[in-house]
Amino acid sequence: MFSLNDLLVILPELYLTAAACLVLLFDVFLDDEHRDATHWVAIVVMLVAIFLVIRGQPPETVTAFGGMFVRDHMAEILKVTVLIATILMFVMARPWLKDRKLFIGEFYSLSIFSVLGVMFLVSAGSLVTVYLGLELFSLPAFALVALNRESKLSSEAAIKFFVLGALASGLLLFGMSLIYGATGTLDLHAIFAAIGTTQHLHLLQFGLVFLVVGIGFEFGAVPFHMWLPDVYEGAPTPIAMYISAVPKLAAIGLAYRLLETGLGPLAGDWRMMLAIMAALSLVVGNVVAIAQTNFKRMLAYSTISHMGFVFLALSNPTPEGYASALFYAVCFALMETVAFGVILALSRKGFDCDMIDDLKGLNQRSPWMAGMMAIAMFSLAGIPPLWGFAAKVLVLKAAIDGGMLWLAIVAIICAIIGLFYYLRVVKVMYFDAPAEDVELSPKPDIALRWLLSINALGLIAMIGFSGVFFTWCQHAFGV
Amino acid sequence: MTTLPILSILTWLPCAGAILVLLAGNARPHVARWLTLAFTVITFALSLVMLTQYRIGPGGFQLQENLRWIPGINTSYHLGVDGISVALIILTTFTSILVIAGAWQVIKTHVHQYMAAMLVLEGLLIGVFCAMDALLFYLFFEAILIPMFFLIGIWGGPRRVYATLKFFIYTFFGSIFFLIGLLYMYHRAGTFDLQTLWNFPFTMKEQSWLFFSFLIAFAVKTPMVPVHTWLPDAHVEAPTGGSVILAAIMLKVGTYGFIRFSLPIVPDASQHFAWLIIVLSLIAIIYIGYVALVQPDMKKLVAYSSIAHMGFVTLGLFIVYMLARQMHDIQTAQLGVQGAVVQMISHGFVSGALFTCIGVMYDRLHTREIAAYGGLAKVMPWFAAFWVLFAMANTGLPGTSGFVGEFMVILSSFSANPWIALFAAYSLIIGAGYTLWLIKRIVWGTAPTKEAASMPKLNAREAWVLTAFAVAVLAMGIYPWPLMHLMDSSVAQLVTHVMTSKI
């Protein structure tokens, strides 16, 4: 049985469920002329959701439905970031979608449902909620990737994403069943408690491996990264932006809930797995990114390497480590939105600005956009005074504190390799002459320009507020 | 304490100026120029205000500002200056004005971006010299790369892309190990505050590792042999202003790092490995001097001579251990450090002036080949006079600033070991060799081509810039006392600190 209190705890999620249905319904009654109304309604819906998440946040962790649902500060930070990232996507996607006749209401309702899945996932208190949240997030995401049904590339990407995603959730589910078998419970806290007394340690470890595989897939860490470049390249650019930011945030929640809340006592086992995945992701991501000519594919490999950085922090299973990982993931999401946002701003009807060479001489054509992109690139490379630098420092610090000095050294060597391809983008924009045959969008949408600028300049400003934000992150993990 | 946070203003005012200049846009280059000049002049004036507020007698770190930055990792926005940093900040603000004036009509494309990059660079460099928090220092230290990357890459010569990428990746490579060192120190000491780190007892093993993590970063930046190869490329391809800033100030960031990190934080490892630095410095002084001798390109010649001169700085800094710890000759040890810092400042003026001279010639004939010039004494007599003056300063002629620092370093190394002094002094001969030979080829003789014979005379702007450099060079050479007095107590404190072993 549940009480009214339980409903209050999940009020933001309840609200968003209703709102997603309403957006879907509302859109049915609009003709194409008035589709903009859906856009604005969707944005308002998200803003209200942010308000509800923040406003209703209890000072202490509360649970609902017998521990199935947890509302704590970590979930709050993740939810707010996911909502912000989605709003950014909505605003930046509109002109792009309009140009390609993809400006349809389903885009909004699918996205909102997907976000809803993330919100459940990061608040999960039991294996069931974890799985439900993950599926609710993934299924709309598969559909979103296939939004442009006339594009073969998109369909291919969607099918790849779907098949591999299904495989990963299958593995995750299998792992969960093993853990259930070993502990006799689905509740994460109960699992934690049962590990001390269980007779089936090997079964647990066996299950753990499958969970780590599922988590690795969600992050896109090597060796479970193969879907990522294809999805980035094939998906419509706004969706690629969504896929680059939101699942990573969800994965932080997933990893924390499963590995720390549930299987914390096995940290000695899983931290080494994460460390190895971190090292592999860093090496493969950075090295392969150098060879890319497609900008979106390059960003995909860069994402893989950044996930290596997140794992670097997670391999130090302390509140400090988790806080750094959370910090990094939020920072990463907001850097990706800038990088993709510039691409969206420069694309026009019939032309996707998604090759690196399309950016040639951008400084002469559109200095402001070039500046935004340069900020994103330097931030991704972790050069001060940009926000990515603070994130990198915190993550490296977490690794060193966790006794993983070797991993930190691997990470920085890879960062040097990675620097090259970020700098190449800047080089192409600033030092090369514009390509004659490339025609960029003459004047990007005003809302897009403003939001993009705020987002990018925020990457500079946030270095000053890193302290405040890191304190929140630490607070989320009870430091 | 003063009420005005003057160091923050000095750091951020140029950066704020950069935003205004960028807003001026590409269409109004003249607005951008005047605005930039105004900001550099104001910053210079403010740095003089800082000089008056700095009390020389007590030394130590003054005008401190301390704000929380990331409390979670105990790092703060902590600024402060001692005598050494005051001198370097004034060098920075002074040179910046001349660089802006020097680039007045030379830079024709994207003027506002050039000026903005210069202003950001100035602000960040000032930030490096006042940071009292290790992470904050690192932030400025590495952020410098971004404007410099653009300066070389956009306004540079034909191989600018290669040069700027090499410069960026090389320097980043060095500094990232420094970052790991910093994080390790934090792991042990629990803070990034420099003053705490200076007194933290690291073990010998830790010190050795930290020493090398610092060494990679600062050796690349200084640059020392064998990691100097980025410098000639960067210098040759950079626009004149970029070269001047690079030679005059950015190289000092590396040696300043030695003063702030290697010497005080890991004194025992520094003592243990001092021989390594001394050998590398001597190689830089002698071998690089020979390399400079054969360069056909003027900028490359001066770039190599910069490396050789920076060898004096590192020599002066690391000779301290022999003197202070083994021979207990504190006075001479102080002389060595002081000589090193004087050499840093002096080299700032001299190399800046030389690169400006080369820029003036490049603007006329668009080549840096020595063979393309000749007979300057007839074509541009005043300019030739400047050339000779700066060349003399570069060789260390008494009466010019170049003499003071080199003499002090040689003197102190003589007390440590006459052989070191012998090798170091040998540089005076090679230095005279390559500089005088350069002068012989471009100033005397006859012009090889018609264009070289009909180069227009110095214009007023160029003349003023060179005069300012000349005044600085001569003033420092004839009356170096104010500069030495300014940093006397700071150097004494540094040497006292270095004397005490941590293990």
Indicate the domain borders of chain A.
Answer: 4-476
What pLDDT is recorded for position A352?
A: 84
Q: Which of B68, B140, B169 sits opposite A467 (nearest CB)?
A: B68
DSSP B164-228: HHHHHHHHHHHHHHHHHHHHHHHHHHS--BHHHHHT----HHHHHHHHHHHHHHHHHHTT-TTS-
pLDDT in tens, A421-459: 999 999 999 998 887 777 777 778 888 999 999 999 999
Residues of B in contact with A389 (CB under 8 A): 139, 142
Disruptive mutation site among B11, B180, B192, B237 for chain A (greatest number of A CBs within 10 Å): B180
Residue A1's pLDDT band, with cuts at 50, 70 and 90, is: low
Torsion angle of the four alpha carbons B76, B77, B82, B85, in this order, in degrees rounded to the nearest 10:
120
Residues B107 and A25: their CA atoms lie apart, in Å, by 60
pLDDT in tens, A74-101: 999 999 999 999 999 999 999 999 888 8
Mean pLDDT in residue range A251-265: 91
**Residues of chain B predicted below pLDDT 50:** 1
Q: Do B154 and A363 touch (CB under 8 A)?
A: yes
Q: Do B153 and A385 touch (CB under 8 A)?
A: no
Mean pLDDT in residue range A278-293: 93
What pLDDT is recorded for position B121?
A: 94
**A426 closest CA partner among B101, B242, B146, B70:** B146
C-beta of residue B91 within 8 angstroms of C-beta of residue B44: no
Q: Do A393 and B153 touch (CB under 8 A)?
A: no
Q: Which residues of A touch B (CB under 8 A)?
A: 323, 363, 367, 378, 383-385, 389-390, 393-394, 396-397, 400-401, 405, 408-409, 412, 415-416, 419-420, 423, 426-427, 430-431, 463-464, 466-467, 470-471, 473-474, 479
Which value does ipTM take for this structure?
0.91
Disruptive mutation site among A331, A365, A369, A383 for chain B (greatest number of B CBs within 10 Å): A383
Q: Chain A within 8 Å of B178 (Cβ-Cβ)?
A: no
Average pLDDT, chain A: 91
Q: Do B73 and A426 touch (CB under 8 A)?
A: no
C-beta of residue A109 within 8 angstroms of C-beta of residue A458: no
A309 sits in which H/E element: helix A295-314
Residues A433 and B152: their CA atoms lie apart, in Å, by 16
Residues of B in contact with A463 (CB under 8 A): 139
In degrees, rounded to 5, the angle at the alpha carbon of residue A166 between the alpha carbons of residues A339 and A45 is 50
Q: Which of B68, B168, B187 sits opposite A401 (nearest CB)?
A: B187
Q: What contacts B419, CB < 8 A, 6 or more positions away?
A: none
Could you tell me the CA-to-CA distances from A96 to A345, A464, B113 in Å, in that order? 8, 33, 30
Residues A371 and B23: their CA atoms lie apart, in Å, by 13
Within a 10 A sphere around the Cβ of B458, how many other Cβ atoms?
A: 18
| Nearest chain B residue (CA) to A397 | B183
- Residue where the block lists tokens 């709050």: A76
